[in-house]
Amino acid sequence: MTNNRPIKVSFQGERGAYSEEAAICFFNKDVIIKPCKNLYDTFESVEKKTVDFAIVPVENSLEGSINETYDLLLSSNLKVFGEINLRIKHSLIACQGVELKDIRTVYSHPQALAQCRKHIRNLGLKPIATYDTAGSVKMIKLKSSKSIAAIASARSATIYGMKILLSEIEDNKNNYTRFFALSFSDSSPTGSDKTSIVFTAKHVPGALFSVLKEFADKGINLTKIESRPTRKTPWEYNFYLDFEGHREDERCKAVLDSIEKKGMLTKILGSYSKAKSDAYQTVNSY
């Protein structure tokens, strides 16, 4: 696939970010990692062929979908090559020598802060949002203040030589993030696949039902549906839909053809092997 050279993978954030963990877990081998400042740059790194794949977060089991990722998927030529689910374990991290009683302020990505809001409140800390979890650890190391901490992975504490004050501070232990692996092509059928599409339902009674009925009539299980504004016409929405099966399967092809004939199929994002429910990775294993 890559002429025996190491696979190059981009992700959004600093070294130690959960997206980096997802990249390592998904490819299950040595990879060359390319950190990117934001999600747009992460997509672009594949489009410009500076890397082979990108790993991007799609949704969190507690806080919901990553809207920016969905918007970029619609505008990009990249395909969903695969998916992976990570069990997220947050740590409260500070500089060496700092004690928990010293902390007054905590930095992290808004999703991480939201996932730890009870602990933050109980500790009486002031939360400040940043662009990245691991980036917050890197930042507080540079600040070298005894009154600040960050919420991030345990691995990020190791990378930056920091101290873990508390482990597993997420409010809900059923905390998973789903990531997509993106490339220029999706995957071949495996017999245990999912497909992601985007369609636009016309603003008439029964339009959405007519699409969903196509799947029901063919006995195809839907695993997710998400709406996003089209940004073209007020109150008009794109629907992002995941369903079981590969776009090359006969039943799936029939449904997709039917939706396309209705003039409602916007884009096939890709078909890929399903992440196994018993294969959730734990980010603290590194």
Concerning whether 177 is annotated as a catalytic residue, the answer is: yes
39-43: long-range pairs with CB below 8 Å, 24+: 39/12, 39/66, 39/68, 39/69, 39/72, 40/72, 41/10, 41/12, 42/10, 42/11, 42/12, 43/72, 43/76, 43/78, 43/182
Name the H helices within 34-167: 39-47, 67-75, 110-115, 117-123, 133-143, 154-159
Is the distance from CB of 195 to CB of 80 less than 8 angstroms?
no
CB-CB neighbours of 188 under 10 Å: 11
**Which residue from 267, 263, 264 is spatially nearest to 247, judged by alpha carbons?**
267
Q: Which pair of structure tokens corresponds to residue 19?
A: 């997206």
Structure-derived torsion over alpha carbons of residues 286, 38, 94, 26, reported in degrees to the nearest 10: -10
Concerning whether 179 is annotated as a catalytic residue, the answer is: yes
Terminal Cα-to-Cα distance of the chain (whole angstroms): 26
Per-residue burial over 111-148, b if 16 or more Cβ lie within 10 Å, else e, is bbbbbbeebbeebebebeebebbbbbbbbbbeeeeeeb
| Three-class SS state of 247 | coil
| Three-class SS state of 108 | strand
Catalytic annotation, pick one of 26, 53, 81, 179: 179
Active-site residue numbers? Answer: 177, 179
